[in-house]
Copies of this chain bind each other. A is one copy, B any other.
Amino acid sequence: MNIATDTRSRIIAAAKPRFHSRSYANVGIQEICESAGVQKGSFYHFFPSKRDLVMAVIDEFADEWAHGFVAEAFDPALPPMERIDYLVDAAYFWQKSIKQVHGRMLGCIFGNLTLEVSTQDDILRAKLLAIFSRAKSRFKDTLEEAVAAGTIAPLDADLTAEAMLAYLEGVILLAKSQNDPEVIYRLGPAIKTLRVEAAV
């Protein structure tokens, strides 16, 4: 473990919970540096700008999810539609545990950042779009598998996948507005009722 990479990762580690629990604009570089025990000049040695930091934070969150809950949920051994249940459950438990520790529901950092910055920074918007795009693909593959297995009636897998992703983000948004992860528990399972019929 290089000292250099250590400083860099300490910066990211300090930034992650702050961007997640507040907002992009509300978290300053000075605060991050103080929390990481790093001088500002050192920060700019590793990150050309604040935007580059938040991109690294986005990547870390994405990796964390991809290797954690997402990998568990989209386990090929599970029946396809149960994978979707699993993912919604994971979102619920995650938000619930965050609230227990932090006292607040923080929601999905990708959704949070999307609504905050996507009118102001197309590079960040593209980064977040790519995250959503990958998530949608997971849903789509799962739906196609479910159709092939006869678990569900044929449908437009691409649009239904996008609809499910939208619904999940919307549920997390409403839950955050109530500061109550139980909203995810109550509304989450209805994700499987969403359908976009295949075009003829």
Q: A115 and B118: CB pair below 8 A?
A: no
Is A23 interfacial (CB-CB < 8 Å)?
A: yes
The residue that A119 contacts in the complex, of B106, B117, B173, B190, with Cβ under 8 A, is: B106
Most B CB contacts (10 A, CB to CB) among A111, A128, A170 go to A170
Q: Mark A125-154, 1 if CB is under 8 A from B, else 0.
A: 100110010000000000000000000000
- The main secondary structure of chain A at its interface with chain B is helix
Is A179 interfacial (CB-CB < 8 Å)?
A: yes
Q: Mark A143-167, 1 if CB is under 8 A from B, else 0.
A: 0000000000000000110110111
Q: A171 and B166: CB pair below 8 A?
A: yes
Q: A159 and B190: CB pair below 8 A?
A: yes
**How far does the alpha carbon of A52 sit from the alpha carbon of B169 in the complex, in Å?**
28
Which chain B residue lies CB-closest to A114? B177
For A25, list chain B residues within 8 Å (CB): 23, 25-26
Is A195 interfacial (CB-CB < 8 Å)?
A: yes
Q: A194 and B193: CB pair below 8 A?
A: yes
For A23, list chain B residues within 8 Å (CB): 23, 25, 116-117, 120
Which chain B residue lies CB-closest to A108? B115
Is A107 interfacial (CB-CB < 8 Å)?
A: yes
Q: B163 and A190: CB pair below 8 A?
A: yes
**How far does the alpha carbon of A128 sit from the alpha carbon of B175 in the complex, in Å?**
12
For A173, list chain B residues within 8 Å (CB): 111, 114-115, 166, 169-170, 173
Q: A111 and B120: CB pair below 8 A?
A: no
Beyond the given pairs A26-B120, A112-B115, A170-B170, 17 more chain A to chain B contacts, judged by CB atoms under 8 angstroms and listed by A's residue number, are A23-B116, A104-B119, A106-B119, A115-B173, A125-B177, A132-B177, A160-B190, A163-B190, A166-B170, A166-B173, A167-B167, A167-B170, A168-B170, A169-B170, A190-B194, A193-B195, A194-B194
